Structure 1
Amino acid sequence: MLKSGISFEKAKQLFEFMVSFNKGDHFHRLGLAIEAVGDGRVTVKLPWGEHLVGNPDTGVIHGGVLTTMLDTCCGFATCTALEEPELCPTMDLRIDYMRPATPGQTLYAEGEVYKVTEHVIFTRGVAYHDDKDKPVAYCVANFSRLDKAIASQVAQQFRAVIDSFGAES
């Protein structure tokens, strides 16, 4: 159960809804899938696809795809660390690319929140294939917390979507 009282399964359903809702947006086009949700943590999966390739000669995934994956993963992690789910825009994101992603292999990213303040949420993440000890990239990202009145409205909207999912599976 998250700090907000939302179950991990309901949070996972919310994130899955967010990445699949708009069939024309980048989430849907990339094919991101939510693997796991925990307290202050989210893991996403990105199956390799030709549409993600930045260099057709090598088959390596484009750096922008990796950036989007890490940003999304860390952004979703912010929702799991708060009393109420909030929409927290990215303020800053820095990525250290350690090596190219291996063509044809699924990528995973894990984002975690390591500090929450009144105005900023601090996260870090890692992208990898099958072994976190052999990372493709690391990131640190900071997310801005919205004005309390706006955050409250967003929380109500998130809760309405979560309630629409019905009983736990």
Structure 2
Amino acid sequence: MKIPHDVTAWAQFLAFSPYTVRLGIEAVAAEDGGCVLALPYAPEFIGDPDSGVLHGGAVTALIDTAFGFAVFFRIQAFRPMATLDMRIDYLRPARPGMKIHTRARCYKLTPELAFVRGCSYEDDVEDPFASCVGVFMFTVGQPAFGKAAKVP
């Protein structure tokens, strides 16, 4: 099955989760093995009222969601998975009042794991405020490729 790269088609998947709906996460771009998602700036997601900087939890939610979608676009199938590890290196605070984006790419697959890297930025991918890497574990079902695993 080939997953369409039409953003309006796959953005519907974001609408299935109350979590992504509440955060307002938006589909921006998709390609084989990668995607860009965005999080609009909202006062309820501010972590520091004095500066207006978004809370790290909101940023992490965007990154984690973008990483999961990048895996989805790489394996071209629906498979349950869990975030096994994620590292976010903040290079600077995100600018208050601006929509933030995460570009994610799944660069390596094994039958049990998916490896993803990306960055978060406001309006210029060449000026990221965070660099991130993650590992996802497939939780049930068939491996992403190769010989089928036996499920008890």
What's the TM-score bracket when you normalise by the shorter of the two chains?
0.7 to 0.9
More helix by share: 1
Local SS of the residue matching 2:74: coil
Give the match's secondary structure for 1:81.
helix
Number of residue pairs matched by the alignment: 144
Q: Percent identity?
A: 35
**Contact kept? 2:111, 2:143, Cα under 8 Å:** no
Per-residue CA shift, 1:116-143, capped at 9, x if unaligned? 1111000001000111221111110001
CA RMSD after TM alignment = 1.9
SS at match of 1:65: helix
Superposition map of 1:105-116 within 5 A: 105-116=98-109
State which drifts further: 32-41 or 84-93.
84-93
Which deviates more from structure 2 when the two are superposed, residues 129-138 or residues 70-79?
129-138
Give the alignment partner of residue 3 of structure 2, picking from 3, 6, 22: 6
Task: Name the CA distance, whole Å, in 2 between partners of 1:32 and 1:43.
Answer: 11
Q: Find the counterpart in structure 1 of residue 114 from structure 2.
A: 121
Give, as a single letter, the amino acid of the residue that structure 2 aligns with 1:7: P
- Distance change (3 Å), C-alpha of 1:83 and 1:101: closer
Distance 2:65 2:44 in 1: 19
Q: Which of the pair is proportionally richer in strand?
A: 2
* Offset, 1:74: 0.7
Asked whether the 8 Å contact 1:53–1:59 carries over to 2, the reply is yes
Provide the C-alpha distance between the structure 1 equivalents of 2:69 and 2:3, rounded to a whole number of angstroms.
14
**Distance in 2 between residues matched to 1:39 and 1:75, nearest whole Å:** 13
1:123–1:38 CA distance, 2 compared to 1 (3 A): same
1:150 Cα deviation after fit: 9.7
Structure 2, unmatched stretches of 5+, are 145-152
TM-score normalised by the chain length of structure 1? 0.78
C-alpha contact 1:79 1:87 (8 A) present in aligned 2: no
1:27 pairs with one of 20, 23, 27: 20
Question: Which residues in structure 2 correspond to 1:1-169 (within 5 Å)?
Answer: 4-9=1-6, 13-14=9-10, 16-22=11-17, 25-148=18-141
Does the 8 Å CA contact 1:12/1:37 hold for their aligned counterparts? no
SS of the aligned residue for 2:65 comes to helix
Could you give the per-residue CA deviations for residues 41-73 of structure 1, whole angstroms, max 9, x where no partner exists? 110111111011011111000001111101100
